[in-house]
Amino acid sequence: EFFNISNGEPTELFNLLQRLSEKLNIYLNFKPLPYPIAYTLATGMEWIYKYLLPDQEPALTCYTLGLLAFSQTLDITSAKIKLRYEPGISIEQGLDEFVQYWKL
């Protein structure tokens, strides 16, 4: 059996990355693209890297695009019931701890 482990707060990955980049003083310049165009670009990048640059990873994949484009919420109910799991920290606290670790 598998369990989702998170703090239970619904969070969009895109917003999480924006908050993390701000805390690290890295300013990202996001440009919105319609999903079909972004998907076509990601598919093209996957093809190019698969056949022309097989030892490298593409900057954008269809999987990564899906993570950024669609909201995902992990349901931790099963972990709470079966494992008696209770989240220990908030997403914001986790980001702050990561930033402190990263700056070491």
Host domain of residue 48? 13-102
The pTM of this model reads 0.70
Residue with tokens 């097989």: 54
Angstrom distances, CA of residue 29 to CA of 14, 34, 91: 12, 16, 23
In a domain, 30, yes or no: yes
For 51-77, write each residue's pLDDT tens digit.
Answer: 999 999 999 999 999 988 887 777 899
In a domain, 94, yes or no: yes
In a domain, 7, yes or no: no
Q: Which amino acid is at 60?
A: L
For 8-49, write each residue's pLDDT tens digit.
Answer: 887 888 888 899 999 999 988 888 899 999 999 999 999 999
In 10 A of CB 64, how many CB atoms?
14
User: 7 and 87 in contact (C-beta within 8 Å)?
Assistant: yes
Number of domains in the chain: 1
